[in-house]
Amino acid sequence: MQAYLLDFANFMLRWLHVIAAIAWIGESIYFVMLDNSLRTPKAAEDRDKGVFGEMWAVHGGGFYHNQKYATAPAKLPEDLHWSFWKAYTTWLSGFALFVLLYMASPSIYLVDPNADWTWAANLSGWQANAMALLFLLGGWVVYNELCKRISPDMTRDGVLSLAVAVMMVVVAYLSTQIFSGRAAFLLTGAVMATAMSANVFFWIIPGQRRMVAAMKAGEAPNPLDGKRGKQRSVHNTYFTLPVVLLMISNHYSFAYSHDHAWAIMSLFIFGGALIRQFFVVMHAGTIQPAYPVAGTALIAVAFWVAMPSGASSGDAGDASTSLAEIETIVEARCVACHSSSPTQEGFAAPPAGIVYDASDQIVRQRDKIREVVASGYMPLGNMTGMTDEEREAVAAWSGSQ
């Protein structure tokens, strides 16, 4: 019953997380589009009253006229729309999921027993949890300090962008050296997601509140508040596509179990950012296909790097393991979780619905079994103690016997 309750809580939290993320990202993308689509007001009276730009749109059978004021309008409405709860709900629900799925069983989901760094492979459960929390906090602190020190007045944002790009490569590398592959991808995405939410909480919303307070008091708002909010919003929009990709990566072990997982992750991050750039400049009225072409090229390189070598494809080799031997290994090391009625504590149902109760079920999953066993990703945290000899036997399974 406890495993079922945890699964149901996971199900509902994931639903909430996806809904909040869709709402937040959708609104963020819309406002970037709106901001970049503004044109100089045609009406003289609009320009005289401080309208900086306007956009006409048609949607849902009606026409919309959006206007942006560079300074305070003559009167601020009481029902001024604010955008922040979607960001907070996305982060809080995502963190709750991380606690429920990863931190509740750190020795399985966080610790990589095959890590090259010995101290990382030997982390205890609480140490792995503490390291994950420090990773999230440290990522925000470093990113925030880069923003404050490199471009405090928003005049060196190009240099700042390069610094943040380098930071993300370092984060990707460190995560894959310290944590298990799936957790590394998730935590790298979580570092960016934490920066996005923290940008809203610590900079964007407080700056906007100060601007509104100044306007209501008849004072000129501090222009740095607007510029800083814009800076952090721009960062958030380039983080969006990479974060979404990393958050849905947990079922694709070919990427996160690879020896060069950090490079694959970095290529995905930059590829996503370049594709996002295409839409940003498109809304400003310019079509630059070089951005999606470059982004797609980086993803193609990631595909090439992650591609299994011929030696591990299972199509050649002098030795082959029989199906009977594979069944013995699967029964001893895999069926505790991958069964219609799992006996492993914490599993109410087989992961991803994959069951190895019969020979034909094992044969159908041959390629996937070989992939995840050879990479060391399965069994999770090697909780069932699969030996190197057994992994070699699985790698030699051609499926012909």
Q: Phi then psi for 11, rounded to 5 degrees? A: -60, -50
**Token output for 78:** 């009481």
Round the CA-based radius of gyration of the chain to a whole number and report it: 25
pLDDT tens across the length of the chain (401 residues): 677 888 888 899 999 999 999 999 999 999 989 999 999 998 998 888 889 999 999 999 999 999 998 767 777 888 888 889 999 999 999 999 999 989 998 988 899 988 889 999 999 999 999 999 999 999 999 999 999 999 999 999 999 999 999 999 999 999 999 999 999 999 999 999 999 999 999 999 999 999 889 888 888 889 899 899 999 999 999 999 999 999 999 878 888 888 899 999 999 999 999 999 999 999 888 999 999 999 999 999 999 999 876 544 444 444 588 888 998 999 999 989 898 888 887 777 888 788 898 888 888 888 888 888 887 778 877 888 888 888 889 888 876 55
Position of tokens 């007001």?
Answer: 41
- The sign of the torsion formed by the CA atoms of 137, 167, 380, 271 equals positive
Q: Which pLDDT score, from 0 to 100, does residue 349 have?
A: 80
Q: Which pLDDT score, from 0 to 100, does residue 313 have?
A: 43
d(CA 377, CA 399): 21
Are residues 113 and 181 in contact, defined by beta-carbon separation less than 8 angstroms? Answer: no
Q: Which residues, in sequence order, are bridge partners of residue 58?
A: 63
Are residues 180 and 111 in contact, defined by beta-carbon separation less than 8 angstroms? Answer: yes
Are residues 179 and 132 in contact, defined by beta-carbon separation less than 8 angstroms? Answer: yes
Position of tokens 């595909």?
Answer: 303
Distance (Å) of CA 255 to CA 35, 182, 223, 309, 358: 36, 9, 44, 14, 29
Ramachandran class of 285: left when φ > 0, alpha when ψ lies in -120 to 50, beta otherwise: left
Q: Write the secondary structure of the chain as one string of H (helix), E (strand) and C (coil).
A: CHHHHHHHHHHHHHHHHHHHHHHHHHHHHHHHHHHHHCECCCCHHHHHCCEEEEEEEEECCEEEEEEEECCCCCCCCCCCCCCCHHHHHHHHHHHHHHHHHHHCCHHHHCECCCCCCHHHHCCCHHHHHHHHHHHHHHHHHHHHHHHHHHCCCCCCHHHHHHHHHHHHHHHHHHHHHHECHHHHHHHHHHHHHHHHHHHHHHHHHHHHHHHHHHHHCCCCCCHHHHHHHHHHHHHHHHHHHHHHHHHCHHHCHHHHCCCCHHHHHHHHHHHHHHHHHHHHHHHCCCCCCHHHHHHHHHHHHHHHHHCCCHHHCCCCCCCCCCHHHHHHHHHHHCCCCCCCCCCCCCCCCCHHHCCCCCHHHHHHCHHHHHHHHHCCCCCHHHCCCCCHHHHHHHHCCCCCC
Amino acid at site 344? Q
